[in-house]
A and B are shown apart, each in its own frame.
Chain A
């Protein structure tokens, strides 16, 4: 028998500190697989968020540079403007990219910065203990919305990725999820495409990944997968939001 699944080279063997069933663990692995497949490890620099994935440099075996909370796309802009032929990506949560970092996100997209942004949307602020995120659903509980989010008091969930489509500099925006084998494969394909956009110098690319947080959602991991299907993806529908890449989908891209 031969081994048919292996740890990607760009993923360090450290045990993840993430919770059981956390989407970060899956998404980190997919990013590492994509970096391996595109053979860009030696010229890739990542910018992690403030959030559960602040320690992403313990797992992704590429150069990484810390950014203040929300500022990853501005730090990434500085890196990419100096290292023009390198690959610079950010890996951010919903607070980092759509609350405190909103201006930096919109303007990086607007300037058409040749960056790849991975937006991990789990509808909650995990690391700080489960407070409301801009993407928390109405009725969804959090530690700062006891009784559930109420639009009149807390605003409605924010679809930042839709807003980015208006910016001419954004070239590829897709929302995917890691809540089934089929969706995990689609997520990897989207991440790979978002890196390819940068390699081809086309402009700003962002992949939003609906990601389970079983701990703060107070569900088992399999139940959190179902919740994404039945509830979360109704507010944040999966699919391509913008695609001006001109890439034709080739058969066999489902790897």
Chain B
């Protein structure tokens, strides 16, 4: 039983489970896959304590479909997996979006593609932010960079899922899943206190029978649903973008990174700052909706961005879209589960910094680098 208010030292995978329970989640359907086996293990013991239900399904495919059913019944429900298992869930996630069902999906990314390995990676960015499954839809994607953030984002994920009737993905990685950090947990929420949902299928008592469907054979009707989803996604893009900046006020080069890569980047930035380089960090906390406008505004004053990812380069495409040619976007990445050190990243930062002569005063060097033309 958690002692809310006090700091608890806890592994990321367990934090995901505990935060979900405190957010009122009473149903978890999952399947073991490294590096998130601890999530189903934790939920199998924790959920019965609060009268909840845990089912280890026969596959990730089966578990996302159980999530669909539980969500249709109005419950706060979660599943989790890692990369190959998330691939299996894509059909179900598309259905969740098309059926407008709330659900939370945790992904602790591992090296890929294919069977890959069990080391941390960020190579599911495309899969998470570009739909992943078929059709015109979006998943809200939250990217924690610490166990505390994982806790806070998990609670937020359930609220966002219910508010927008949409699946929400928490994009972690093997590092966040396995590391232990102190976390302050919120007060527990009683699911019975949540506002009732007027669209669920809980038996046609006192009302006409309802069908929750996504089969809309008339293209015009399907188009209307798609436009409804577009309006929903526009609203989410307006209200739910989240990001953090670090030492960007006088930066001449800004690193863009999320999750574990951002933590490594912070360590690298501290090192290069000690050497006098004016470098900062912009860390997206929502990967969808992506902080397009903040990046675009930053690129008006900072002419060099270095996108750093633990992948072969996925978020960098969104960075380039956001800056729209206003800045040079460089990329550094280590795919396949390799976790670079802050020293290595510092070396890369200083390489780009000096290559662009950002150490010299002059026009167009950004704040502190001389006047801008």
A77 touches B66 (CB 8 A): yes
Q: Are B204 and A81 in contact (CB under 8 A)?
A: no
- Known contacts A66-B212, A68-B65, A107-B62; A78/B27 CB under 8 A: yes
Closest Cβ of chain A to B137, distance in Å, is 14
Task: Tell me, rounded to whole Å, the shortest Cβ–Cβ distance linking A56 to chain B.
Answer: 9
Tell me the A172-198 residues at the B interface (CB within 8 Å): none
Q: Is the interface of A mostly helix, strand, loop or mixed?
A: helix
Binary contact readout B36-70 vs A (1 if CB under 8 angstroms, 0 otherwise): 00000000000000000101011101110111111
How far is B72's CA from A86's CA once the two chains are assembled, in angstroms? 14
Q: With CB as the reference atom, state the residue of chain A lying closest to B205.
A: A42
| Nearest B residue (CB) for A80 | B69
Please, how many angstroms separate the alpha-carbon atoms of A77 and B71 in the complex?
A: 12
Interface size bucket, B side?
35 or more
Residue contact A41 to B70, C-beta cutoff 8 Å: no
State the CA gap A60–B70 with chains docked (Å): 21
A64 touching B58, Cβ below 8 Å: no
Residue of A60, A63, A78 near B65 (CB, 8 A) is A78
Asked if B95 CB lies within 8 Å of chain A CBs, one says yes
Contacts of A55 in B (CB 8 A): 215
Q: Does A82 lie within 8 Å of B27, measured CB to CB?
A: yes
B20 to chain A, nearest CB (A): 16
CB 8 Å contact bits of A185-219 with B (1 = contact, 0 = none): 00000000000000000000000000000000000
Q: From B73-81, B227-235, B284-292, B316-324, give the one contacting chain A.
A: B73-81
A71 to B71, CA, bound (A): 15
| Cβ distance B74 to chain A, nearest Cβ, rounded Å | 7
CA–CA, A167 and B174, complex, Å: 36
Taking the complex as formed, is B192 at the interface, i.e. its CB lies under 8 A from any CB of chain A? no
Report the minimal beta-carbon distance from A65 to chain B, rounded to whole angstroms: 4
A57-B211, A107-B58 known; A78-B202 Cβ under 8 A: no
Inter-chain residue pair count (beta carbon < 8 A): 129
Interface assignment of B210: CB less than 8 Å from any CB of chain A: yes
Option from B62, B70, B215 in Cβ contact (under 8 Å) with A79: B70
Q: Which of B71, B73, B212, B215 has the most CB of A within 10 A?
A: B73
Whether, in the assembled complex, B99 has its beta carbon less than 8 Å from a beta carbon of chain A, the answer is yes
Q: Which partner residue on chain B sits nearest A75 by CB separation?
A: B69
A83 at the interface (CB under 8 A from B): yes
A interface size (C-beta, 8 A): 35
Give the docked Cα–Cα distance between A63 and B215 (Å).
16
CB pair A74–B57 under 8 Å, yes or no, is yes
Chain B residues positioned under 8 Å from A86 (CB to CB): 202-203
Q: A57-B211, A63-B211, A82-B74 are in contact. Are A103 and B59 (CB under 8 A)?
A: yes
Decide: A45 and B202 in contact? CB cutoff 8 A. yes
Known: A68-B92, A104-B58. A42 touches B214 (CB 8 A): no
Q: Once the chains bind, are B204 and A74 in contact (CB under 8 Å)?
A: no
Determine which of A45, A54, A111 lies in contact with B201 in the assembled complex, contact meaning CB atoms within 8 Å.
A45
B242 close to A (CB within 8 Å): no
Are A71 and B61 closer than 8 Å at their CB atoms? Answer: yes
Q: How far is the CB of B113 from chain A (nearest CB, A)?
A: 23
Q: Are B204 and A67 touching (Cβ within 8 A)?
A: no
Residues B214 and A66 in contact, CB atoms below 8 Å apart? yes
CA distance A106 to B59 in the complex (A): 12
Chain B residues lying within 8 Å of A132, measured Cβ to Cβ, are none
Cβ distance A210 to chain B, nearest Cβ, rounded Å:
27
What is the CB-to-nearest-CB distance from B60 to chain A, in angstroms, rounded to a whole number? 11
- Of B53, B204, B206, the most chain A CB neighbours within 10 A belong to B204
What are the residues of chain A within 8 A of B91 when measuring CB–CB?
Answer: 68
Quote the shortest CB–CB distance from B89 to chain A (angstroms).
11
| Contact, CB under 8 Å: A43 / B29 | no
Which of B53, B66, B77, B99 is packed against the most chain A CB atoms within 10 Å? B66
Is A76 an interface position by the 8 A CB rule?
yes
From B59, B77, B201, contact of A65 by CB (8 A): B201
Instruction: Give Cα A55 to B217, complex, Å.
Output: 11
Per-residue interface assignment for chain A, residues 104 to 117, with 1 indicating a CB less than 8 Å from any chain B CB and 0 otherwise: 10110001000000
Nearest-neighbour CB distance to chain B for A42, whole angstroms, equals 4
What separation, in Å, do the CA atoms of A144 and B77 have in the docked complex? 40
User: Complex formed: what's the CA distance from A246 to B28 in Å?
Assistant: 34
Contacts of B72 in A (CB 8 A): 65, 75, 78-79
Among the listed B65, B74, B75, B211, which residue makes an inter-chain contact with A74, where contact means beta carbons less than 8 Å apart? B65
9 closest cross-chain pairs (CB), A and B: A78-B69, A74-B65, A57-B211, A82-B73, A78-B66, A63-B201, A42-B205, A78-B70, A75-B69
A55-B215, A75-B65, A78-B71 provided; 20 other pairs, C-beta below 8 A?
Answer: A42-B203, A42-B206, A47-B69, A57-B213, A60-B209, A61-B204, A64-B210, A65-B212, A66-B214, A66-B215, A75-B66, A78-B70, A79-B69, A82-B27, A82-B69, A86-B203, A103-B61, A104-B58, A107-B57, A111-B55
Chosen A-B contacts, 5 in total, with CB atoms closer than 8 Å, are: A60-B209, A78-B29, A81-B69, A82-B75, A104-B65
B-to-A contact residues, CB < 8 Å: 27, 29, 53, 55, 57-59, 61-63, 65-75, 77, 91-92, 95, 99, 201-206, 209-215
A residues near B (Cβ < 8 Å) are 41-45, 47, 54-55, 57, 60-68, 71, 74-83, 86, 103-104, 106-107, 111
